[in-house]
Chains A and B, each alone.
Chain A
Amino acid sequence: MGEQSGLPGFGRAEGDFSRVDVHRLVQALQGVLPAASVLHDPEDLRPYECDGMAALRQMPLVVVLPETEAQVVAILKICAGQGVPVVARGAGTGLSGGAQPHRFGVVLSLARLRRIIAIDAHARRAVVQPGVRNLAISEAAAPHGLYYAPDPSSQIACTIGGNVAENSGGVHCLKYGLTIHNLLKVRGVTINGDIVEFGSLGLDAPGYDLLPLVTGSEGMLAVVTEVTVKLTPKPQLAQCVLAAFDDVVKAGDAVARIIAAGIIPAGLEMMDQPATAAVEEFVHAGYPLDAKAILLCESDGTPEEVSEEIGRVRALLEEAGATEVRVSRDEAERLRFWAGRKAAFPAAGRISPDYYCMDGTIPRKRLGEMLQAIQAMEKKYAMRCINVFHAGDGNLHPLILFDANKPGDQHTAEAFGAEILELSVALGGTITGEHGVGIEKINQMCSQFATSEIAAFHRIKAAFDPAGLLNPGKAIPTLNRCAEYGRERMGASRPAAHPDLPRF
């Protein structure tokens, strides 16, 4: 018995969907949707050709914009019947190309399923459609003193359906958890049109707990049509400590001390000197520019709790050798401390025509090694990189600065990024903490997982979608791709062996 027995065909090689008949498809879709909800004119398709990973573009055959779950069911049944790939899409803010269209496929936009069905303050839950924006949930819950805790930086725009697909994080994950920790129930439709509910309104569901499997599955297992989230009471007070260090390793050590002392801060973020300089010029947060690293540590809770915790944090930071410690005196100052961190991406965009954001997670104690290695890579690739870091949970966002108009720069940035990801795996971490694999990191999946594990992922996929129609080519690489990537890496000393091959 071979190790890959039971492996579906799409696990070995990409499926071939070139025989999809677009006229037949459009006709069938128009039979179940109003004409205005089926887009197939190239001009109408253009806005869907990429998501937040704009470097790669691909036009789909058709975009559909259902307004009800029944329409989603009908669309999926048609696609299953005709063997057409389906790429679900929320706001299209994802950074890893997870919503990139399939050449022979349908983009299923959930943007019109945007109703907040219920805010149940007594039970502390909200029932929303997948196209509802993350921040809109918190806004709707605010009059009840409640909010939805996960806060990815794109929360103004990103949708809850996309958050479920990516298991999105944010700056408050260490204390409040990821998307999976804040969900009660996800209702979805499988490729054959069955409606299934994962989780329940209670705290568990009978049988296997498939909620964590579907959460973060990047649209590969089911299409989300309704999400029931937990709402959290808003803390009475939040206060932020800003600490400066003359050495990055000391800052990392300070983080370890805080956690080892039994404190779980509401947020714990680090920026290196180049990142601090970039954002300071942009937002004037008052950051110390001579520091090699700055830490932001937020405490929330009752006023008594916050004051006790801030006192302990300040002492620990001083013990760890902070050269300066500031505690926010009021809400305006707290927001100013955060303004810089939150502006890191736009600041990178301001000092460089393009930037490439990485998302590896490493055990925190390996931070020093990682930053030193990135410094060496800056020399090797002759390209700058600024680092912001969710220090509390080890999630690192190096921003590689490049100019896509310069020949070769894009490719060099990708090679730089790939090396960071490979190192994340080597240091005991992962290639993606919160942005997802999508198409961007599909090759590095082959570094993080063994062939037998990739095969297991494909079997899981086949348990939900035996024909491999939901988001084909994303998240889990084919075994052929990994074999090819392995051969490439063996010959990695030769530059660009196949410059025409798409790498990301």
Chain B
Amino acid sequence: MRWTSVDDLIRQWRERVREAAASGRALCLRGGGTKRFLGRPEQGELLDTRDCSGIVNYEPSELVVTVRAGTPLAELEAELATRGQMLAFEPPHFGPGATVGGCVAAGLAGPRRAAVGGVRDFILGARLIDGRGELLRFGGEVMKNVAGYDVSRVLAGSLGTLGLIVDLSLKVLPRPVAEASLRFEMDEAAALHRLNVWGGQPLPISASAWQDGILELRLSGAAAAVDAAMARLGGERVPDAVAEARWHGLREQTAAFFTAAGLPGPLWRLSLPSDALAIELGGAQLVEWGGAQRWLRSDLPPGEIRGRVGALGGHASLFRNGVRDGEVFHPLTAPMQALQRNLKNAFDPAGVFNPGRLYEGF
């Protein structure tokens, strides 16, 4: 079925959601399909969001862009780059077809996360179709807006289970004038300590990574600030082209740590307080976000990994591979699980959207 305008498409989508809800069928919302590996397995009949594509409104001087959810992420980023701006949270694409809607639904951010914020911090507004087929708008195109519950930010990381996103308004930021990367030789404990100490100082650190005895830092900002920080931090300057490839490899998980066949087990993502000490969990680790995100390749049983990480105030998700039809995300406390289930029911009472993708039952 072809459509002639976005309004027609929205009408068709609403009808399709209503029919699915009435007949108890599930819909599998998918954009470019680059992050299908995330979460629990997909279910339901495919609804391709890429039909709803295009930049609706871009105001560089207002630092905001409104874009349809099916727009390729690469297309949006290219447009922002022409005006010297960017999605500051550096979302991973994980493939050429990644869409903006998928980027928000997956809620993943790249190396700059600890410095600038995550996906939800840059969402200003959204329109979505809920499980009753209603088209709803939350938030808007302005930076400050406290009218009504801030639903649009909750979409970040919801894996398409709350609604079918139609379009999004995102805050954008200027690209930094200058960037430089440094490397230091130090063990994990020393790196975690230094990262937290530096984090408490006014330094323009925009990314960090530690692996195998090497700590790498990226500095971003005004040229004067980057120069001053380099002089203060010492370390060895990494050539720009090498550094750019390195940060890209971390953002897109094309770096050897993620692809090497020799490492054991599935890929785990550990979200921890940045000051949590190094934890031995077998296998190999790569530390990002100043210590707050740690990637683990390990064969240890999930229960053991979750128990150790949970005890430190963090949570562990089975990011890639491994057994995916059990729970892949960290278990919730009973009251939190009840709230999350109620919220799902508030938006999607018939369980139309991506059922079971986040947790069993929603």
Contact = CB atoms under 8 A, between A and B. Distances in A.
A99 to B, nearest CB: 15
Interface string A187-209: 00010001111001111111111
A302 B202 contact: yes
A124 B273 CA distance: 10
A464 interface: yes
A368 interface: no
Given A209-B153, A259-B62, A305-B221, A123 B146 contact: no
Contacts of B346: 6, 456, 459-460, 462-463
A417 B218 CA distance: 48
Interface in B306-362: 313-315, 317, 329-333, 335-340, 342-347, 349, 358-359
Contact of A393 (B144, B271, B345): B144
A79 interface: no
B224 A212 contact: no
A120 B313 CA distance: 15
Interface in A64-113: none
Nearest to A145: B200
B174 A200 contact: no
A200 B314 contact: yes
Nearest to B157: A209
Interface stretch (A15-23, A24-32, A286-294, A432-440): A432-440
A379 interface: no
B146 A213 contact: no
A contacts with B: majority SS: loop
A432 B145 contact: yes
Contacts of A236: 202
Nearest to A2: B132
Interface stretch (B43-51, B68-76, B112-120): B112-120
A476 interface: yes
A257 B60 CA distance: 10
Interface stretch (A169-177, A329-337, A398-406): A169-177
Interface stretch (A49-57, A358-366, A487-495): A358-366
A130 interface: no
Given A203-B292, A259-B62, A463 B202 contact: no
Contacts of B61: 256-257, 259-260, 364-365
A178 B150 CA distance: 13
A207 B177 CA distance: 36
Contacts of A166: 146
B227 A202 contact: no
Contacts of B157: 204, 208-209
Interface residues of A, number: 98
A262 interface: yes
Name the residue in A202, A236, A304, A449 with the highest tally of chain B Cβ atoms < 10 Å from its Cβ. Answer: A202
A439 to B, nearest CB: 14
Contacts of A235: 202
Contact of B225 (A6, A208, A217, A305): A305
Nearest to A262: B174
Most buried by A among B22, B153, B229: B153
B147 interface: yes
B153 A434 contact: no
A207 B332 contact: yes
A120 B203 CA distance: 19
Nearest to A260: B61
Interface stretch (B23-31, B133-141, B278-286): B133-141
A208 to B, nearest CB: 5
Contacts of B292: 202-203
A393 B143 contact: yes
Contact of A207 (B140, B340, B349): B340
Interface stretch (A35-43, A349-357, A423-431): A423-431
A363 B140 CA distance: 10
Contact of A204 (B118, B136, B224, B343): B118
Nearest to B148: A457
A433 B313 contact: no
A400 to B, nearest CB: 20
Contacts of A259: 60-63
Contact of A6 (B18, B315, B349): B349
B197 interface: yes
Contact of B339 (A309, A433, A449, A464): A464
Contact of B313 (A124, A200, A260): A200
A363 B142 contact: yes
A245 B151 CA distance: 39
Interface string B164-184: 000000000111010000000
B222 A305 contact: yes
A211 B63 CA distance: 24
B293 interface: yes
A308 B200 CA distance: 23
Q: Which of B107, B147, B153, B177 has the most CB of A within 10 A?
A: B147
B335 to A, nearest CB: 4
B336 A464 contact: no
Contact of A173 (B85, B114, B144, B293): B144
B150 A304 contact: no
Given A124-B199, A145-B201, A304-B224, A262 B151 contact: no
A87 B261 CA distance: 58
B72 to A, nearest CB: 25
Contacts of B314: 200-202
A190 B153 CA distance: 21
B142 A393 contact: yes
B336 A304 contact: no
Interface of B: 18, 21-22, 59-64, 83-85, 107, 113-114, 117-118, 120-121, 130, 132, 134-138, 140-151, 153-154, 156-158, 162, 173-175, 177, 196-197, 199-203, 221-225, 227-229, 271-275, 289, 292-293, 313-315, 317, 329-333, 335-340, 342-347, 349, 358-359
Can you list the 10 inter-chain pairs with the closest CB atoms, starting with the nearest? A304-B224, A262-B174, A463-B342, A212-B153, A433-B144, A194-B335, A201-B273, A393-B143, A459-B346, A123-B275
